[in-house]
Structures are given as structure tokens and as C-alpha cells.
């Protein structure tokens, strides 16, 4: 049997994107997914009859517009419904709402602070410029800064040229965003505490760091990169849940001729004479290919699928150093009725956007403090959406789905993630939410709690880190996952990496998969 041109290990969104681009260029491609369903962390499951949960990732924004265009994802079923607001309820019954409409937003902000209402526009413009400045870097294969090879020197020169083209002001702003804490950065713009907290929360997503930790402004910027219809910082919900994102990409891949097999767990990469010759499935089946691409995270790829005996010592050390430290959890609810927030009891537009439990920076920082020492936050940060209000198809009529993203639930929990601790986390989350929406407990029909241990066990994401590795400066760009293996290659000939453990990192972006495919095609794959 003729070997495939490429086997992609893992049917998460990056693996599927990589497969689609390779197939689109005429290669014969096979995707092998361990689970019975595709999508990795971008999946929709009918966990309870009639209720479709986006079990893990739950919103769309960072998916690269060029991928949406080039793979014609709308034709393959992707339909993104915009989230138009963020509500931050406060303990005293007040709230802060942020709206997409400029005038409505300003009016609401002015209720809290006239100065912040003025600052907001300038901030938005500044972040717009920053997102534009970073955008070209997302599709760049990172050059090796210590190499003297012509290709890398050219890459560094190109990077330098791009940075210089930003001009003084924007270059320095970028430097500050890359090195500051999100709290310090936002302190320079705003005075309203709930506003600062809600914005700085983007800096702690999936990250074991608090808003006062240097480096979180970078994560803030990373989450600003999302674009919907040309508008930065726009978030949406995929009709049918995040699984439909993966389904659309899979459909695109198949339309180009890619083969996809589910329930096909790969045991290890077949290495012969120092090159990747294919894979071996659990059960012993050997499938040969001219090239193998792993979309698994770097620890899994290098230490499990390959094995350190095949790898140079520096890479093994670097991968052992590469940090995961998952800190996120999910609580997915089936509701019999909508939550009634004390601050805005009547059903309204505010329920159709995101609801952020982030009343102050101190609240978030204290939540982080607990996680540092191996406990989950007694009062966690919650990012909540009720997608059934945008997409009635995911719940029975009159009933609702609520998706709650939780920070912090550290993977390294004192005593481990037992069933009791999982339930305790769920209780804590509900108790927290109940402080703002007292009817929530009686509204819950079913509850699903997903801990970092569950994420690791179900999806193979080491330590439950949703980004396949922390988004910290020490392991980004040319350092992700390790120098000099940041260009999607590996020391093993014909073995590549395409997961978000490579540049530009995590979130449902697809950029790693696309960049990897392009790098492979450039090398004559």
C-alpha cells in the first residue's frame, strides 16, 4: 500500500487545518484522531439529552480570517454569531456593561467615570494599532535568533524591518505590552475598577498568573487579536457550538481529499534510520507515510510519541522545561430558565453577551494567590455565555445552555483532582454565580464540571493547559516550544509539529496548523 504523503496525529483544529492545507495542495493526507469525535478542545457534545455543550472551548474570535477565507469555511457550515456585550455584575447590585455600540458604551462608562469614557476610545485605537502590528507576526515562521544561516538572518532582518515600520510610538507600546502586567497597563488608561478587572481578565485566561504578574499584558494583547469581519477584538459563538468549527474545517479537508479516521489512537511514531516513516496505532497497526505531523503538545509529541532516546539532549531538557501548569476549568450547565441577575433582573440584551465575574483587580489577584499554593480559587474568575440565546438549536425550547469558564483551578491541586474535589469546584462556581444571580441553583437541570485533570485525560493536553503550553515570553515565538525547533520541524527528519505548542500559540486560531503546512510545503513536502 502506497504510503501517505503525510499523516497528521490528532484531529484537533490545528491538525485539521494542517491537513486541509496539505490536501488543498494536492497531497494525500490521513488524519488520525484518538477519540471517536473530531475537534480536540473544539467540540460540541450532547452531554445531556437535548443540550449541546461546547464542552471545552466555547467562543470564536481568534480563528484566523485567512483560514476562514482560504478553506471556505462558511461554505462548509461555519456560522459565527456575534457577542455584543460584556456584563460585569457587582456585589452592591450595580454593574458595568460594555457594548459594541460606541455611544451606548460611552454612556454606560460615563456612569462610572467620565474620564474612562474618554479614555476608552483612545485605548481602543491603540489596541487596534497593536493588533495590526502583531498580525503579520502570527503567520511568520519564527527565525532562529542565534543562527547565522542566511535563512534565519533574513528572517531576523525581516522581523526587524517590520518592527521598525511600526514607528517609534507603536514599537514602544508593543514593548510595553509584551513586558507589563495587565493591571499596570490598564492602570495607565482607566480608573474604574470593574473595567480594569474585566479587561485584565483577558490577560489571565489559561494562565497561572495574576493581573499583577508581568507578562499578562501580552496575553491581553494575544486575546485582542481576534477579528470578526475585519473588526478586532470581536468575539462570537459558532452556531452549533465550537464543534461546528472543527466540523467545518474537517469538511474542508475532506473536500480536498483528506482522509480522516477517528477512534484511531497513535501509540508512537515509527522511526527508521533517523527519519519518521509513519505511525503505529495502539493495537499494533502500522501506517506508513512520507512525513508525519504531530498536533499533540510538545511533551506528548517528543517524550511519548517519539521518545527521548531519539532526541538530542538539549531538546529533551528544553521540553522538560517547557511549562504547562493548566489552571482552567469549565462548568457547563443545562438550565430550565434564564438566570436573573440582581443588577439587571429582566431578560435583556445583557444576557446575549458575555458575563464576567471580575468586580475588581484585587478579586482576580486573590483568586490567583490561592492557586499558587495548590488550591482552586474560593471565589474564581468566571467568564459566562448563554449561547442558546444566540443559537436556539442547542437547547430544547425554553431551556438554555450556560457555558462557564473558570480561572483558577490548578492542575497541581493539593491532594489531586478527585471526584469530591471536582464536585467541590462545581459547587464553588455555582455559589459564586449565585451571589449575583440568586436563582441559578434552582435553574440548573444538569451540571458538568471539567477539571484540568479531565482536560488532560480526555484530550491529551498535558496538565490541562488549554494553550498546549503557557503563553509566557520565555516560550513564545522563536522559543516555542524550543530553540531552534520553532519552525514546525523537529530533529527527526520528516517529523513536524503543528499544534499550538508552536508559534503563535493557543486559542482556537488555526495559525499553527496553517503555518506548519506552509513550512512543510516550502520544504518540498
State the cell numbers at 372: 499558587
DSSP classification of residue 101: S
User: Can you say how many angstroms the Cα of residue 406 is from the centroid of all Cα atoms in its chain?
Assistant: 14
Closest to another protein by CB, 23 or 319:
319
Q: Kindly list the residues in this chain that would bind another protein in the complex (CB under 8 A).
A: 101-104, 106-107, 114-115, 117-119, 121-122, 125, 128-129, 145-148, 160, 163-164, 167-168, 171-172, 175-176, 179-180, 184, 188, 209, 212-215, 321, 323, 362, 365, 369, 372-373, 472-475, 478-479, 483
Closest to another protein by CB, 219 or 430:
219
Least Å from the CB of residue 405 to another protein: 23
Q: Is 164 exposed, middle or buried (0-12, 13-18, 19+ CB in 10 A)?
A: exposed
Closest to another protein by CB, 46 or 169:
169
Least Å from the CB of residue 302 to another protein: 17
Least Å from the CB of residue 104 to another protein: 5
Least Å from the CB of residue 27 to another protein: 33
101 conformational bin, left if phi > 0, alpha if psi -120 to 50, beta if neither: beta
State the cell numbers at 397: 425550547
Contact yes or no for 54/243 (Cβ under 8 A): yes
Least Å from the CB of residue 184 to another protein: 7
Q: Is 316 exposed, middle or buried (0-12, 13-18, 19+ CB in 10 A)?
A: middle
Place of cell 498546549: 468
Least Å from the CB of residue 370 to another protein: 10
Residues 6+ apart with CB under 8 A from 119: 189, 190
Least Å from the CB of residue 368 to another protein: 10
The residues facing 44 across adjacent strands are: 54
Least Å from the CB of residue 419 to another protein: 28
The residues facing 334 across adjacent strands are: 401, 446
Closest to another protein by CB, 16 or 217:
217
Query: Rounded distance, CA 84 to CA 2, Å?
Result: 51
Read out DSSP for 264-316? --EEEEEEETTEEEEEEETTS-EEEEEEEEE-S-HIIIIIIII-GGGS-HHHH
Closest to another protein by CB, 71 or 217:
217
Closest to another protein by CB, 118 or 285:
118
Hey, is 448 helix, strand or coil?
strand
Closest to another protein by CB, 86 or 472:
472
Closest to another protein by CB, 349 or 525:
349
Closest to another protein by CB, 46 or 122:
122
**86 backbone dihedrals φ, ψ, rounded to 5°:** -135, 125
Closest to another protein by CB, 48 or 171:
171
Run of H or E including 177 = helix 167-179
Least Å from the CB of residue 386 to another protein: 21
Render the burial of 266-284: b for 16+ CB within 10 Å, e for the rest. beebbbeeeebbbbebeee
Least Å from the CB of residue 126 to another protein: 11
Amino acid at each position: 500500500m502506497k504510503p501517505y504523503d503525510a499523516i497528521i496525529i490528532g484531529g484537533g483544529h490545528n491538525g485539521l487545518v494542517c491537513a486541509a492545507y496539505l490536501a488543498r495542495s494536492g497531497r494525500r493526507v490521513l488524519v488520525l484522531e484518538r477519540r471517536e469525535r473530531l475537534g480536540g478542545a473544539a467540540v460540541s457534545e450532547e452531554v445531556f439529552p437535548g443540550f449541546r455543550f461546547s464542552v471545552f472551548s466555547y467562543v470564536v474570535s481568534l480563528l484566523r480570517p485567512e483560514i476562514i477565507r482560504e478553506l471556505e469555511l462558511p461554505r462548509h457550515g461555519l456560522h459565527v454569531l456575534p457577542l455584543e456585550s460584556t456584563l460585569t455584575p457587582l456585589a452592591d447590585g450595580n454593574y458595568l456593561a460594555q457594548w459594541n455600540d460606541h455611544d451606548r458604551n460611552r454612556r454606560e462608562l460615563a456612569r462610572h467615570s467620565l474620564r474612562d469614557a474618554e479614555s476608552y476610545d483612545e485605548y481602543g485605537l491603540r489596541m487596534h494599532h497593536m493588533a495590526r502590528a502583531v498580525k503579520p507576526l502570527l503567520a511568520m515562521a519564527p527565525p532562529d535568533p542565534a543562527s547565522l544561516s542566511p535563512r534565519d538572518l533574513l528572517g531576523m532582518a525581516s522581523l526587524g524591518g517590520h518592527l521598525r515600520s511600526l514607528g517609534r510610538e507603536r514599537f514602544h507600546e508593543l514593548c510595553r505590552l509584551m513586558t507589563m502586567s495587565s493591571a499596570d497597563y490598564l492602570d495607565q488608561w482607566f480608573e474604574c475598577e470593574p473595567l480594569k478587572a474585566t479587561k485584565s481578565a483577558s490577560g489571565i485566561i489559561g494562565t497561572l498568573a495574576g493581573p499583577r504578574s508581568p507578562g499578562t499584558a501580552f496575553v491581553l494583547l494575544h486575546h485582542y487579536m481576534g477579528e470578526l469581519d475585519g473588526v478586532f477584538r470581536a468575539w462570537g459563538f459558532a452556531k452549533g457550538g465550537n464543534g461546528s468549527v472543527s466540523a467545518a474545517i474537517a469538511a474542508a479537508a475532506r473536500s480536498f481529499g483528506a482522509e480522516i479516521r477517528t477512534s484511531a489512537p497513535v501509540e508512537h511514531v515509527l522511526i527508521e534510520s533517523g527519519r519518521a516513516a509513519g505511525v503505529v496505532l495502539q493495537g499494533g497497526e502500522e501506517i506508513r507515510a512520507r512525513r508525519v505531523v504531530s498536533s499533540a503538545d510538545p511533551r506528548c509529541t517528543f517524550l511519548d510519541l517519539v521518545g527521548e532516546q531519539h532526541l538530542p539532549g538539549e531538546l529533551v531538557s528544553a521540553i522538560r522545561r517547557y511549562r504547562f501548569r493548566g489552571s482552567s476549568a469549565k462548568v457547563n450547565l443545562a438550565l430550565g430558565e434564564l438566570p436573573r441577575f440582581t443588577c439587571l433582573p429582566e431578560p435583556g440584551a445583557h444576557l446575549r453577551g458575555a458575563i464576567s465575574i471580575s468586580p475588581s483587580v484585587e478579586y482576580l489577584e486573590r483568586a490567583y494567590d490561592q492557586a499558587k499554593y495548590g488550591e482552586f480559587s474560593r471565589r474564581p474568575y468566571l467568564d459566562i455565555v448563554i449561547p442558546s440565546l444566540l443559537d436556539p438549536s442547542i437547547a430544547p425550547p425554553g431551556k438554555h445552555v450556560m457555558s462557564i469558564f473558570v480561572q483558577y483551578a490548578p492542575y497541581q491541586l493539593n491532594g489531586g483532582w478527585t471526584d469530591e474535589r471536582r464536585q467541590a469546584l462545581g459547587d464553588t462556581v455555582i455559589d459564586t454565580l449565585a451571589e449575583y444571580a440568586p436563582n441559578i441553583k434552582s435553574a440548573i437541570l444538569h451540571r458538568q464540571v471539567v477539571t484540568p485533570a479531565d482536560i488532560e485525560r480526555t484530550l491529551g493536553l498535558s496538565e490541562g493547559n488549554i494553550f498546549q503550553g503557557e503563553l509566557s515570553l520565555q516560550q513564545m515565538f522563536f522559543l516555542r516550544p524550543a530553540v531552534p525547533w520553532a519552525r514546525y520541524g523537529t530533529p527527526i527528519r520528516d517529523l513536524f509539529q503543528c499544534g499550538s505548542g508552536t508559534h503563535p500559540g493557543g486559542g482556537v486560531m488555526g495559525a499553527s496548523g496553517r503555518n506548519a503546512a506552509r513550512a512543510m510545503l516550502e520544504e518540498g513536502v
